[in-house]
Amino acid sequence: MHSSYNPESFGWPAHPKIVPFTYYSAKGFLPIPFPSGVADGTQDLWTQFLTELEPLIDGGFMPGTCWGYENRDIAGTNTRSFHSYGLALDINAPYNGRGGNGGNGRFQIPRSAIAIANKYGMESGLQWDYTDPMHFEIHLSPSEVAGNSVSSFTNDTGGTDTSSIASLLGNFSPLLLIGVLVIIGVVLVATQT
């Protein structure tokens, strides 16, 4: 993870291609659009990060309060924000204003988000002196992002992959439904003879 606050110093162009991005909730909540988009190539990394972050937030992500690309400087400075490169997201903005310390209230970013962000090569605004709890930014080069697996971001040894469990359940539920319908059919036939 790069410690510089200038993405161009670790390989990003001054104006990366920005693409639309929508997060589809692993918990069945509403899709969360980031209407202004993110840097092309970062979508999978953001999805993996958000999938892991979502269960830790009471209420998950609130549509309409999550932001991505915006061409602007860091407030009070002449330094371009990571938002200007499509390398930053703000989550549940009205509930996570500057100076906050994170927490477990409704739509609040918990402090455990720091470790998840770091695992994916990101920095959390909760790590800063003047905190910005809603804010997460990517500190990886384009090629590191393109590597696109958790093991390439960190030395994480793994654990329960909740997204694959969710997809497994998703695959099983139609079979379960068919099974129930067959049993009902057998019972109906049995009761009519």
Binding stretches for Zn ion (CB under 5 A): 88, 90, 135
CB nearer to Zn ion: pick between 109 and 140: 109
* Least distance CB 130 / Zn ion (angstroms): 12
CA distances 159 to 12, 52, 55, 165, Å, are 31, 12, 15, 12
User: Are residues 121 and 153 in contact, defined by beta-carbon separation less than 8 angstroms?
Assistant: yes
* Least distance CB 107 / Zn ion (angstroms): 16
CB nearer to Zn ion: pick between 45 and 150: 45
* Least distance CB 65 / Zn ion (angstroms): 12
CB nearer to Zn ion: pick between 88 and 117: 88
Q: What number of CA atoms fall less than 13 Å from residue 42's CA on the CB side? A: 34
* Least distance CB 188 / Zn ion (angstroms): 58
* Least distance CB 128 / Zn ion (angstroms): 11
In the complex, residue closest to Zn ion by CB: 135
DSSP-derived letter for residue 25 is: P
Q: Which two tokens stand for residue 15?
A: 């104006």
CB nearer to Zn ion: pick between 42 and 150: 42
Q: Whose structure tokens read 């992500």?
A: 61
DSSP-derived letter for residue 73 is: B
CB nearer to Zn ion: pick between 117 and 150: 117
Q: Which two tokens stand for residue 97?
A: 């204003």
The length of the chain in residues reads 193
